[in-house]
Amino acid sequence: TDRYAVIGNPIAHSKSPTIHAAFAAQTGEPIEYGRILGDLNDFAGDVRRFVAEGGRGLNVTVPFKTDAFELLDDLSEQARTAGAVNTLIVRDGGLLRGDNTDGVGLLRDLTENHGFALAGKRVLLLGAGGAARGVLRPLFDARPAELLIANRTAEKAEALATQLATSAIASPETRADAQIDQQETAVSGCGLVALRSQRFDLIINATSSGLDDQVPAIPDHCLAAGGWVYDLLYANEPTPFCRWGQTHGAARVLDGLGMLVEQAAESFWLWRGVRPQTAPVIDLLRHG
């Protein structure tokens, strides 16, 4: 049996052990998956100990994703552009590699589970912290017509937009096949207060405002007709931003449960080389 775990602080609420236990049962992979309450002052020590005890991989969650990024030398392109690691892989011989499956998880949920085609769409990404950084590049690579990052603190959104544009020029190869018209994506960043009359086909909430039971202060009429709302946050009750979507005419309102299961499936695949089915696990978590 190979050992895996999720490390975070707090950790008691994490759904990852349930998700990976379901993947293991479904695929017959011989793994056990635990949870580790990380030491806020010694993340590196916790990782060292886990590996010394024979651990094969970790999921990394709040607040250690940047610590993991800084700790590891061998990083995937996804981890590098996100500046964060959510999946740690222990190679034969004990070498550690960092990856980030959050962006892939969001894209899979949006496009494959729900059939939303990003190409040519106007997308508004709210927030400019770690969660926003994690999904930014995969969103861009799906070739929306517009990708606007809006944040309470405008400078952070502007910096992120500049950084994305720069990295896109440096490594264009990850983008999805060009559309017939070779459409480019207009990337920019601004403050929430600068949002006025624009309309968006998809609004993604990547702020942590929901944890304080709040929503970002955006205008009432940001959604285009038929526009969708996606909250990266997930809770048993509809999140504050999902409720915002419901009362502001969103055609579809999605929370982060699908992304949570999809990013876990991608981690499982990186570790085991086996792709679990996600739909039954999403169902299990949604309905118990």
Nearest distance in Å: CB 143, ligand ATR:
24
Q: Is 121 a catalytic residue?
A: no
Nearest distance in Å: CB 153, ligand ATR:
3
Residue 105 contacts residue 111 (beta carbons within 8 Å): no
What does the alpha-carbon distance between residue 228 and residue 24 come to, in Å, rounded to a whole number?
33
Which two tokens mark 39? 């030491």
107 binds ligand ATR (CB under 6 A): no
139 binds ligand ATR (CB under 6 A): no
Which two tokens mark 230? 């996606």
Rg, Å, the chain Cα set: 19
8 binds ligand ATR (CB under 6 A): no
- To the question of whether residue 173 is assigned a binding role by annotation, the answer is no
Contact with ligand ATR (CB under 6 A) among 58, 88, 131, 135:
131
Nearest distance in Å: CB 158, ligand ATR:
12
What does the alpha-carbon distance between residue 267 and residue 270 come to, in Å, rounded to a whole number?
5
- To the question of whether residue 70 is assigned a binding role by annotation, the answer is no
What does the alpha-carbon distance between residue 83 and residue 54 come to, in Å, rounded to a whole number?
27
70 binds ligand ATR (CB under 6 A): no
Distances from the Cα of 55 to the Cα of 1, 2, 89, 271, angstroms:
10, 7, 9, 12
Contact with ligand ATR (CB under 6 A) among 57, 98, 130, 144:
130
What does the alpha-carbon distance between residue 131 and residue 146 come to, in Å, rounded to a whole number?
19
Closest CA to 108 of 270, 260, 274, 284: 260
Residue 186 contacts residue 146 (beta carbons within 8 Å): yes
Nearest distance in Å: CB 256, ligand ATR:
11
- To the question of whether residue 127 is assigned a binding role by annotation, the answer is yes
Helices (H), the chain: 16-27, 43-52, 65-71, 77-82, 102-107, 130-141, 154-170, 240-247, 257-272, 279-287
Which residues from 141-160 bind ligand ATR, rule CB under 6 A?
151-153, 156
Residue nearest to ligand ATR (CB): 129
Nearest distance in Å: CB 236, ligand ATR:
19
- Check 20, 65, 133, 137 and give the catalytic one: 65
Q: Which is nearer to ligand ATR, 55 or 127 (CB)?
A: 127
Q: Which is nearer to ligand ATR, 70 or 184 (CB)?
A: 70
Q: Which listed range, 4-12, 103-111, 127-135, 162-170, lies at the site for ligand ATR (CB under 6 A)?
A: 127-135
Contact with ligand ATR (CB under 6 A) among 60, 82, 128, 281:
128
What does the alpha-carbon distance between residue 262 and residue 270 come to, in Å, rounded to a whole number?
12
Q: Which residue has the tokens 């405002």?
A: 209
Listed in sequence order, the residues at least 6 apart from 166 whose beta carbon sits closer than 8 Å to its beta carbon are: none
34 binds ligand ATR (CB under 6 A): no
Which residues from 197-236 bind ligand ATR, rule CB under 6 A?
207-209, 212, 214, 216
Residues that bind ligand ATR (CB under 6 A): 127-132, 151-153, 156, 207-209, 212, 214, 216
Residue ranges for the known binding site are 14-16, 61, 77, 86, 102, 127-131, 151-156, 232, 234, 256, 263
Catalytic residues: 65
